[in-house]
């Protein structure tokens, strides 16, 4: 604003003089700050050094100290930050690492200090059961290899063929050194439930969690002469006898067997006066088992077969079957 009574030219001169005074004052303030001596620390990697400087900003200090920054290097605080006494400056040099994830290998230059930091920088996310090798907290070193493992767990049902066995019945009427097929063997069919682990799309672990016999195998039954031995896997497998018996079925009750074992598929309840406990048996339509249990209703020529579920026991019902007493 012009002062009253002064010519226009003198007013302009006064304004310019005031502006020059403001600029001069600012210059003196800046010069004072620039010329002020500051004690700072500079750390590059594991090297830490105490410096005395008149630089005004972090960038000026680095330039004056001959520190060259690469395109991926990082400094904290930033280069434009004004220096003050006691400022601590850290320079992070970018190092190369190889990251394998989702079918690709990437070479990344990074200043991150941990594997987790590298994954964030590469925009790689771990979800569910995913893992990374080495672990997320592992320190970064030049040239290290980082591998991301995509892990998926599935419950799978698989049908498998159950091979039949070959059983031999000693028949004194059979001509010496000869064998006769009484029944041809038939393979069975079982449905298995598996807990399967896939790592990067490849199966790496599998645990069987359940099995249901859809069709029991039927053994090949041979009649052999008394001086002929038929074996399976090098182990003789001859009958001591066979008989027709009534076979019922039962499911888990939570109780142990008469011999103290936990019931499982192959556990058979018998009348110990007919079949001694511990005898190995083959039951037509059921398969191999062992006489390990008894029951109040299991008397005489009767056996009770254990199944894993009530449904399987109900499906079996009551049947008259051949029971082979094995040697």
CATH of the domain at 227: 2.20.230.10
pLDDT band at 132 (very low <50, low <70, confident <90, very high): very high
CATH number of domain containing 82? 3.10.20.90
Mean pLDDT comparison of 74-78, 128-132, 206-210, 232-236, highest-scoring range: 128-132
Pairwise CA distance, residues 85 & 172, whole Å: 110
Clarify whether residues 243 and 327 are in a common domain: yes
What's the pLDDT at 227? 47
The mean pLDDT value for 293-313 works out to: 91
Q: What is the pLDDT of residues 62-101, one digit of tens each?
A: 888 888 888 888 899 998 999 999 999 999 889 999 999 9
Pairwise CA distance, residues 32 & 27, whole Å: 8
Pairwise CA distance, residues 116 & 98, whole Å: 14
Clarify whether residues 170 and 144 are in a common domain: no
Residue written as tokens 């080495």? 134
Clarify whether residues 171 and 223 are in a common domain: yes
Clarify whether residues 302 and 257 are in a common domain: yes
Tell me, yes or no, whether 12 lies in a domain: no
pTM over 0.75: no
Q: What is the pLDDT of residues 143-155, one digit of tens each?
A: 999 999 999 999 9
Show which of 182, 212, 237 is a domain's final residue: 237
pLDDT band at 270 (very low <50, low <70, confident <90, very high): very high
Which of these, 219, 212, 215, 265, lies nearest to 242 by C-alpha position?
A: 219
Phi, psi at 183, each rounded to 5°: -140, 135
């Amino acid at each position: 604003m012009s002062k009253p009574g002064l010519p226009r030219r003198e007013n302009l001169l006064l304004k310019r003089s005031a502006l020059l005074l403001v600029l001069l004052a600012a210059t003196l303030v800046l010069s004072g700050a620039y010329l002020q001596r500051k004690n700072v620390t500079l750390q590059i990697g594991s090297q830490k050094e105490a410096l005395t400087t008149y630089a005004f900003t972090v960038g000026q200090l680095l330039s004056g100290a001959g520190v060259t920054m690469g395109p991926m290097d990082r400094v904290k605080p930033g280069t434009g930050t004004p220096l003050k006494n006691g400022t601590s400056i850290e320079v992070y040099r970018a190092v190369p690492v190889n990251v394998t994830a989702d079918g690709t290998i990437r070479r990344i230059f990074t200043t991150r200090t941990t594997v987790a930091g590298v994954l964030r920088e590469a925009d790689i996310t771990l979800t569910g059961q995913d893992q990374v090798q080495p672990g997320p907290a592992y320190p970064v070193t030049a040239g290290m290899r980082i591998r991301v493992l995509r892990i998926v767990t599935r419950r799978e049902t698989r049908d498998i063929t159950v091979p039949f066995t070959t059983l031999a019945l000693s028949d004194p009427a059979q001509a010496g050194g000869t064998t006769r097929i009484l029944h041809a063997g038939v393979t069975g069919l079982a449905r298995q439930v598996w807990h399967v682990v896939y790592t990067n799309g490849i199966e790496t672990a599998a645990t069987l969690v359940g099995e249901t016999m859809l069709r029991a195998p039927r053994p090949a039954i041979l009649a052999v002469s008394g001086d002929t031995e038929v074996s399976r896997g090098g182990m003789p497998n001859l009958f001591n006898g066979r008989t027709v018996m009534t076979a019922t079925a039962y499911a888990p009750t939570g109780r142990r067997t008469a011999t103290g074992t936990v019931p499982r598929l192959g556990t058979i309840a018998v009348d110990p006066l007919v079949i001694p406990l511990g005898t190995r048996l083959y039951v037509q339509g059921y398969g191999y088992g062992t006489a390990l249990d008894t029951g109040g209703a299991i008397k005489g020529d009767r056996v009770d077969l254990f199944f894993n579920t009530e449904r399987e026991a109900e499906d079996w019902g009551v049947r008259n079957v051949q029971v082979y007493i094995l040697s």
